[in-house]
């Protein structure tokens, strides 16, 4: 596995592992807890060193799972987790990035992750009620205390990134980015490049769509997040099929899978991009890791760069309730 360097010199595997789906959001997990521990440890065997979790996943149970799996091999893993939600009665009821809450979450996450330090601590969503300067300052204090190594933001606008970075260096931004979600390209990516901040795309495979395994006939369980995403409504999936058909054809010509082409395209966008596709299967981790060996030509990249514009993308990436938590104003 190749490695990538995010901001502030943080080195991670070029392909990370998003762990959320092992505990929530994608329907019933077919494996047991022991199975998922085995999958997490197999990722390290395949060269994946970058693991992404959050207190809100479960809530809490995903951090506990990651902590148990990686405790025996902690020195070989980079663990990212997140703060920023008000969790009550086993569910998030809004945002909360007050300094005292950040500190409470850090202590609880350290315990659940069975570690003395969090490698990368993201604000999960920008809290408009708390100045970002206060957030950055609080995480900076946690770094000084040795409880956190690096500060990250998620779904933050370019203006917010600049304000945070002026107080304490931001190591990475995590936002949705893929062949069919290109929002960061206009303002966010140029800002990250200018400031030397790494980029960690989540849902780099379009929540499974870009693997070619989802189509208009696919049905989703009641607790699958895609039931609430407009882009995954049946009529939109049918319209978006042209995009994945094109990726599939290119993948076939290159001896790769559609998912590998989608990841290889992301890796080619900038040397400090490290996607975190999620999965519950070791064989899919292996497939994703091998995306680092897929060679796309300049013509391939040019073709893929314009794909979404040519064929169009039908449906929003979030519903209005989810979109309300995305920082677009700064």
Instruction: Of 31, 3, 48, give the one whose Cα is nearest residue 288.
Output: 48
Instruction: Of 208, 175, 257, give the one whose Cα is nearest residue 21.
Output: 208
Determine whether 182 is exposed, middle or buried from the number of CB atoms within 10 Å of its CB (0-12, 13-18, 19+).
middle
pLDDT band at 50 (very low <50, low <70, confident <90, very high): very high
- Mean pLDDT value of segment 158-172: 98
- The sign of the dihedral angle between the CA atoms of 9, 13, 18, 22 is negative
What are residue 155's DSSP bridge partners? none
Answer yes or no: are the C-beta atoms of 178 and 205 closer than 8 Å: yes
The active-site residue, picked from 57, 122, 318, 325, is 57
CB neighbours (10 Å) of residue 305? 15
Q: Give the mean pLDDT of the chain.
A: 96
Q: Which pLDDT belongs to residue 171?
A: 99
Query: Quick check: 330 pLDDT over 80?
Result: no
User: What are the structural domains, with CATH classification, of the chain?
Assistant: 3-323 (3.20.20.100)
104-134 residue pLDDT tens: 999 999 999 999 999 999 999 999 999 999 9
- Mean pLDDT value of segment 196-200: 98
251-279 residue pLDDT tens: 999 999 999 999 999 999 999 999 999 99
CA distance 70 to 307: 39
CB neighbours (10 Å) of residue 208? 21
Report residue 180: phi and psi, to 5°: -115, 5
Q: Which pLDDT belongs to residue 123?
A: 98
- Mean pLDDT value of segment 169-192: 98
Q: Which pLDDT belongs to residue 1?
A: 86
202: DSSP letter: E
The 3-state DSSP class for residue 152 equals strand
Which residues are CB-neighbours of 326 under 8 A, at least 6 positions away? 125, 155, 318
The 3-state DSSP class for residue 192 equals helix
CA distance 16 to 205: 13
Can you read off the two tokens belonging to residue 249?
A: 């054809």
Residue 325 bears catalytic tag: no
Q: Which pLDDT belongs to residue 220?
A: 94
Instruction: Of 259, 160, 256, give the one whose Cα is nearest residue 206.
Output: 259
CA distance 83 to 55: 7
- Mean pLDDT value of segment 176-191: 97
pLDDT band at 84 (very low <50, low <70, confident <90, very high): very high
pLDDT band at 328 (very low <50, low <70, confident <90, very high): confident
- Mean pLDDT value of segment 90-105: 96
In order, the DSSP letters of 42-66 are HHHHTT--EEE--TTTTTTHHHHHH
């Amino acid at each position: 596995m190749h490695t990538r360097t995010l901001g502030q010199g943080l080195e991670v595997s070029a392909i990370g592992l998003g762990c959320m789906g092992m505990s929530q959001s994608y329907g019933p997990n077919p494996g047991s807890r022991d199975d998922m521990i085995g999958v997490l440890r197999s990722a390290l065997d395949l060269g994946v060193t970058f693991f992404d979790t959050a207190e809100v996943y479960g809530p809490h149970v995903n951090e506990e799972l990651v902590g148990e799996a990686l405790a025996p091999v902690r020195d070989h893993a980079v663990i990212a987790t997140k703060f920023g939600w008000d969790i009550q009665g086993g569910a998030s009821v809004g945002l909360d990035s007050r300094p005292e809450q950040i500190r409470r979450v850090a202590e609880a996450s350290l315990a659940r992750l069975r570690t003395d330090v969090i490698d990368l601590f993201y604000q999960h969503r920008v809290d408009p009620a708390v100045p970002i300067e206060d957030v950055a300052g609080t995480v900076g204090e946690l770094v000084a205390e040795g409880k956190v190594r690096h500060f990250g933001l998620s779904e933050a606008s370019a203006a917010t990134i600049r304000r945070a970075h002026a107080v304490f260096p931001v190591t990475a931004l995590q936002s949705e980015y893929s062949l069919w979600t290109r929002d960061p390209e206009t303002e966010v990516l140029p800002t990250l490049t200018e400031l030397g901040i790494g980029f960690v795309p989540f849902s780099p495979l379009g929540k499974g769509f870009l693997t070619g395994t989802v189509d208009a006939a696919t049905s989703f369980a009641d607790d699958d997040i895609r039931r609430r995403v407009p882009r995954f409504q049946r009529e939109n999936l049918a319209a978006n099929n042209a995009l994945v058909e094109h990726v599939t054809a290119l993948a076939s010509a290159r001896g790769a899978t559609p998912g590998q082409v989608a990841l290889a395209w992301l890796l080619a966008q900038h040397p400090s991009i490290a996607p975190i596709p999620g999965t519950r299967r070791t064989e899919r981790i292996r497939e994703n890791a091998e995306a680092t060996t897929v060679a796309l030509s300049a013509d391939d990249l040019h073709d893929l760069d314009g794909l979404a514009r040519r064929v169009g993308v039908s449906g929003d990436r979030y519903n209005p309730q989810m979109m309300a938590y995305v920082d677009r104003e700064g």
